[in-house]
Structure 1
Amino acid sequence: MTRHCLVLGGARSGKTAFAERLALHAGARPAYLATADILDGEMRDRVTSHKASRGVRFTTIEEPIDLSHTILKAGNDHDVILVDCLTLWITNLLIANEDVATAVGELSATLMEFRQAKVILVSNEVGLGIVPDNAMARTFRDLAGSAHQRLAEICDDVYFVAAGLPLAMKGDAPPPLS
């Protein structure tokens, strides 16, 4: 049985590096499903840096909106799919005036049925700071929190990463990934 996984953490917490090690440990044909939509030079530099750090270990698939369909398609060729990251995906949905709750529901339903490959979802935990001072930021925080709760419910393993150290919140203890 394939165990799907949610990896949460703050910005620069080490969550992506942990998820990459987890993916490489879990399969021989990993895909990296990147949700970043390059809107400016700074984001272009970040994407270039991320790609360089991954090297050739992952097949990179770029999809900013349609995660469910892309996961299903990637499952034909890959035994593990790392999705990085859900908060960028939610941002992309908001910018495109898509219904985030519907998209999260579709992703959740896809994951509940999808067993061709392990899916590792990475997301920023944005609910640990102060209450944002504007309505759009509060809406984003609330949507991300709701998405995390829904996906954590259906994922077999949930980890929280801080200072590069993973804490198992649900499921198995993190495997030794050295």
Structure 2
Amino acid sequence: MIVVTGGARSGKSAHVEGLVARQYSQVLYIATSTVTDDEMAARIARHRAQRPAHWRTLECYRDLDAVIRQQVQPGEAVVIECITTLLANLLYDASGGADPDTLDFDALEKGLQQQIDALIAACQQTRAPVYIVTNELGMSITPENRLARHFVDIAGRANQKLARAAEEVWLVVSGIGVKIK
């Protein structure tokens, strides 16, 4: 498992796609974004356009452990783009869109971290190389609202788990990848 992290628009996607394309011709690209509005649809379209057309794409964000166990073909590398979006989607699903002031974030995080633990286990069990993209959210100011603060905490703990379990970790800053593990 290789984790690639960095800030928004740091070049993480291009970096991981370059790492993968240099070594593998067959790739399963797991895209965790969902279309929520026109702007997000445009972002997704840009990401699709920059990937090689022959890469297989699955668009999903739940139960990625099962996806890895059941969908990866022999000789295929896997790219998961991205954990932060996966967590945001899972958090929204689990909370039902309720008012953040009414949410039990400890209980919600427990379910999200179970998804991360299951993903790590699947990555450790598959023969396929798995490249995971995630945002490093902890390098900025503490958000002013409760939901954002809890999300940064949840994502930070998930990223730490992924990094501990990874064989390699890359930090991408201004389009430059630096191997930190």
The normalised TM-score by structure 2 is 0.87
Kindly indicate which of the two structures has a greater share of residues assigned to helix: 2
Contact map agreement 1:31 1:78 (CA 8 A) in 2? no
CA distance in structure 2 between the aligned counterparts of 1:164 and 1:78, rounded to whole angstroms: 28
Aligned partner of 1:176 in structure 2 is none
Equivalent residue for 1:109, pick from 121, 131, 136: 121
Deviation of 1:49 after TM superposition, in Å, equals 1.3
Question: Could you say what secondary structure the match of 1:96 adopts?
Answer: helix
CA positional deviation for 1:57: 3.9
Q: What stretches of structure 2 of length at least 5 have no aligned partner?
A: 95-107
**1:83 aligned counterpart, secondary structure:** strand
| Structure 2 counterpart of 1:110, one-letter code | A
Which amino acid counterpart does residue 58 of structure 1 have in structure 2?
A: W
Q: Which residue of 2 aligns with 1:133?
A: 144
- Tell me the TM-score normalized by structure 1: 0.89
C-alpha offsets along residues 131-158 of structure 1, whole Å, 9 cap, x if unaligned? 0111111111011111111011111000
Q: What is the alpha-carbon root mean square deviation over aligned residues?
A: 1.3
Gaps of 5+ in 1: 171-178
Q: For each residue in 1:71-130, what CA deviation from the matched residue of structure 2 results, as whole angstroms up to 9, or x when unmatched?
A: 222322552011000000000110110611111111122122222x10000011000000
Identity over aligned pairs, percent: 34
User: For the residues of structure 2 that align with 1:102 and 1:66, how far apart are their CA atoms?
Assistant: 10
Runs of 4+ in 1 over 2 A off after TM superposition: none
Residue pairs, 1:42-81, within 5 angstroms: 42-77=39-74, 79-81=76-78
Q: Which moved more, 1:67-76 or 1:117-126?
A: 67-76
